[in-house]
Each structure stands twice: as structure tokens, then as C-alpha cells.
Chain A
């Protein structure tokens, strides 16, 4: 009887230890904390690159020049950012990060992208039919952008057996819509050394 009880206890303990290894563990971390798992482009890269590049862009003389010439704040629109890298990069978060930095700076006006405009125009058309006269928004009153931001992400990858150097280069160009003048060129580089494990369990 005693032996039976002891063996039962041991079994339960053993089962408990084994089971504890199986449960999912979740630790909350701050969104700005750097966690590098695989060495690929991640949220930290997207945030740092967009913040730094937009901060650089807004400090440059073209903003002041435009204000001096026209007396207005420049209106900017984001065109296409092409992913020419080795990875599938989520460009939506990258573009959203850039837009946020620009809008929140208050130094430039920001125009909705062509995709977003479509929905807004549909809504105005709908208002034309259904909304009350005094609340109706007229068509043809949109703010035309003065500058368009375009860019691309490139990578160079060098490797030897399990080691890799991943080099990312993000180029952004701000082009004047009136005369195709390039008023600002921004570049940001990231270099990562990734050592892949030679052994696993």
C-alpha cells in the first residue's frame, strides 16, 4: 500500500514537470524594445528607419525655402516605396510609420494617398445625394500635393557557411510635383551580422 502511494506520488510529480515544459509562455514587452530573432527586417528596423529619415527630411532647407517662396506649408504625399530586397517586407507598416512622423511634426501638410482618396471621393459623392445642404462637402476642393515621396529598400547579402552579413539600404527621394526637382535625398543603412546555429536539439 505504501509503495503504491509513493509510486503514485512520483508519477504525478513526473507528469507535472513534463507538462510544465509544454505550456505557452507569454511575456509582455514594450513596443520600442529591440528583439532580434532571425536577423530579418523587423518592427524595430521599420520604426527606426522611418523616424530617423523623416526627422532628417524635415530639418533640411527645402521646407524653409518653400515657405519663403509661397508662404504656405508644403503639402506632401507618399508615392510608392518599392521592396527590392531579399525579403518579403511589410511596407504598409513602414509607410504608416513615415506618415505618422510627418503628420505629427506639424511642419508639413499631408495628403491622403491615392488609395485612401478613392474612398473619400466615394463618400463625397454619396453626401451629394444624401447629406443635408449645410453639411455637404463640395467636390473639387482637395488640397493638391506639392511634393511626392518615393523610395526603395535594397539589400546585399554576403554569406559563408552559417554566417551571414545582411546589409539594408533604404533610399527616399522627395520630388517636386511642379517641376520634377529632387529637393531631398535620404539614405539610411543597416548592417546585421547573423550567425546561424550549427547544432539543434
Chain B
């Protein structure tokens, strides 16, 4: 009678200890919630403080750098933000090499024990946000460096067979086009606008993101500027547009490029499912990541400048892109998780034959350590919107209203004395999150 009792006590004690240990490593997405709340409350300083206080294990260093870079950029500290992004890019390069040690640990314990190397679309976003920082600082040549790196990265991703959706990023192409156009490099801009158009067509088939109306006008202007008459005529027919501002007309004016980063990217949660293993007549429990969409923060932004009223258009849908990325990876994640569950089962079975207690302990440990990898870049916006306005050079007061789904203005932003210089582009970015948008939904 005494022996089984002691055994039960030991198992209970061990389970309790394990549970306590695991509670400490609650899923990554949970740890970001307080920071997201501060962003929504428009206190970016406090969000930065909270981020500095969170303990980050070495394997999550990339996430920390990306979040810090993003928060610094939101707070207007563009130089510091670019430094974080540069560090993050270097880390991604290092993590591209395979670690056999980490792969083995991942197979034994769970996927979350690997160093986080960033999804392909997140790697693209690193360069993209870095470029936006430089544009905000008015350093066009530095932004051009990022544009060239983006071209290179998208080329590399194309070689890696990450799937058609992730090999090309329409907004990244569009931004490079904008940078080339700002530097007067019309032929490069034309090529990039064309690539952006192709990418939008490709992405449009997979998730809700249309070819922006603005891009259609840009294609007409750029093809006209470089003298591609046939292509220009084709675009005019396809888009049913018969008049547009020529490159010369725009260059007499100063142009405002307003980029609105809307809301926050979706969060990953853990979902446990039972998977049958027919060859062994077994049912194993595996934990898989799943995305939780957040309610949309704002529908659009309305700009008032120099007597003109313009609304922003959606140029990137990061939420849907992230969800598509996970869907693409899910079979591989499931296969790994099933293999892991089988391995854990065999280990506990083998140990159980020699010692019942040991077998039980290994079984419990195996079940408790089966956690889904819920890491992702959480400070990214859910979508990116953009509007361009060309006006005679001068100083303008820019008024921005963020609209809710019903079209009512719910938040107002004011940019006094915004300078537009003839032949130049002035870039302004803003990232806003509505407070009611933090609760996820399936």
C-alpha cells in the first residue's frame, strides 16, 4: 500500500513543479499584450519602457529587435530605429544557417526552442520599415540603399521557393518605385511600378487586396515619362483612365506621401488537436499555432491639405499575408509535431517497461512540453494604407481624420507647417491603433 502512494505523491509533486516552470514561459503572444495596450493608449514611451523590462531569451532576440525598432519608429526616433533594424537584419543573416543542435532540441521538446529567424514577409518588412525611417528623415540616398537591398532580398526569396505569395511583396515593390521616382530615376521606377502591379495581381487572387487606384495613375505617368507609348496606351485602356498628371506637372509641385499604418498584426495562439497515427493505431495530441484576427482599428484615413480632401487606399494587408504564411507552413508544422509526439510516446513506452514511474514521468513531461510556437512580429500593423497629394510648393497644415467602419471620424491628427518643396516628395508616416481592437477573434 505504501509504495504506490509514494509513487503517486512523487508524480504529483513533479507535475506541480513542471506546471510552475511552464507557466513561467507563457506563450510569446501573451507577453506582448501589455505593450499593445500602451500603443493603443497612444503612450509609445511607456510601451518602450515595458519592452525594455521584458526579459528576452537569446532565441527571441530578433523579435525584441524588431519590436524595439518599430516602437522607436512610432515614437519618431528614426535614427535609433534604423540601428535596431540594421542589427535585426544582421541577425537574420546569421540565423539563415542551419543549427543541428536547435533542430534536435525542437524535435525533442517543441518548435519554440529554436531561434526565431523571421518569416519571409517579416524579413521584407525589416527593409521596408528601415527605408521608411530614412524617407521620414529626408535621407533619400540611404532609403535607396534599402530599396536596393529589398530588390536583392525579393530576388533571393524568389530562388528559395517560398511560394508565389511570399516571393514577391507588392507594397515593397511599390515603395522602391517611389524611392526611385523621388530620385528622378524614371526607368528604375517604371520597372518597379510594373513589378508592383504584377505582384498586386498575384496577391489579389489569394486574399482581399486590390490593385490600388493610385498605382494605376503611377503606371500611366511612369510609362509616359520613359516613352513606353504602347504600354502606356494599354494601361489607359485597361484602367479606363483618360487623363492624368504628367511627370513634369508633378515635378513642378511638391508631393506629400502619407503612409498610414493601421492597427496591429494578428496574434498566434495555441490549439491542441488529436492526430491519428494509422500505422500504430494511435491517437496523439499535438499543439499547433493558429492566428487570431484582431478587429480592424480604423477603416481609412482622410487627409485635408491645401483645400484638398483625399482618402488613403489599402496598399498592404499584413494580416492576411501572415495568415496565408501560416497556412502554407501548417503541413510541415503538423508533420514535425506528429513525429515529435510519436518519439515522446516511444520513449515513455520504453522507459515504462523498465520502470512504471519513469515511464509515467516521461509521458507527463512529453505532454506538458508540447507547446505550439506562437512567435511572430506583433508590432507590425494589420494593414498599410497610402495617399499621395501633389500641391504647389509651400507650407501647409495637414489635418488627418481616422475613420471607423461607419465612416465617422474617431481620431484626429494634426501636422502643422508641413513643407512641400518643388520636385521633392515629403514622406509622413503614422501608426495608430484603436483601443477596442486588441481582443482577437477567429
Contact = CB atoms under 8 A, between A and B. Distances in A.
Interface of A: 38, 82-88, 155, 157, 159-162, 196-201
B144 to A, nearest CB: 7
Contacts of A200: 94-95, 97-99
A83 B99 contact: no
Nearest to B149: A86
5 contacts: A83-B145, A86-B145, A86-B148, A86-B152, A200-B97
A197 B167 CA distance: 23
Contacts of B99: 199-201
Contact of B156 (A155, A159, A198): A159
Interface of B: 86, 90, 93-101, 141-142, 144-145, 148-149, 152, 155-156, 159
B59 to A, nearest CB: 12
B142 A88 contact: yes
A83 B96 CA distance: 27
A88 B98 CA distance: 27
Nearest to A80: B141
Contacts of B142: 83, 88
A157 B145 contact: no
A83 B101 CA distance: 40
B148 A85 contact: yes
A198 B97 contact: yes
Contacts of B144: 84
Interface centre among B86, B141, B148 (most CB of A within 10 A): B141
A160 B100 CA distance: 23
Main secondary structure of the interface of A (DSSP, over half): loop
B152 A199 contact: no
Q: Which of A82, A84, A162 has the most CB of B within 10 A?
A: A84
A196 B96 contact: yes
A199 B97 contact: yes
Given A157-B152, A159-B156, A83 B141 contact: yes
A23 to B, nearest CB: 18
Contacts of A199: 97-100
B218 to A, nearest CB: 23
The listed residue with most A CB atoms (<10 A of its CB), out of B97, B101, B156, B159, is: B97
Contacts of B156: 159
Contacts of A85: 145, 148
A84 B141 CA distance: 7
Contacts of B96: 162, 196
B86 A88 contact: yes
Nearest to A160: B159
Contacts of B152: 86, 157, 159
A84 B179 CA distance: 12
Given A83-B141, A161-B159, A196 B97 contact: yes
Contact of A87 (B98, B101, B145): B145
Given A86-B149, A88-B86, 7 more contacts: A84-B141, A86-B148, A88-B142, A162-B96, A196-B93, A200-B94, A201-B101
A88 B127 CA distance: 12
A173 B152 CA distance: 29
A197 B155 CA distance: 20
A88 B145 contact: yes
A18 B142 CA distance: 43
Contacts of A161: 159
Contact of A198 (B90, B93, B98, B145): B98
Nearest to A200: B97
A88 B83 CA distance: 11
A82 B148 contact: no
Contacts of A162: 96
Contact of B97 (A82, A160, A197): A197
B157 to A, nearest CB: 12
B294 to A, nearest CB: 34
Contacts of A159: 152, 155-156
Contacts of A88: 86, 142, 145
A38 B144 CA distance: 21
Contacts of B159: 160-161
A162 B156 CA distance: 10
Nearest to B142: A88
Nearest to B148: A86
A86 B152 CA distance: 9
B155 to A, nearest CB: 8
Contacts of A160: 159
A82 B141 contact: yes
Of the listed residues B93, B101, B148, the one surrounded by the most CB atoms of chain A closer than 10 A to its CB is B148
B137 to A, nearest CB: 13
Give the 4 A-B residue pairs with the shortest CB-CB distance, closest first. Answer: A200-B97, A86-B148, A197-B97, A200-B99
A3 to B, nearest CB: 27
Nearest to B100: A199
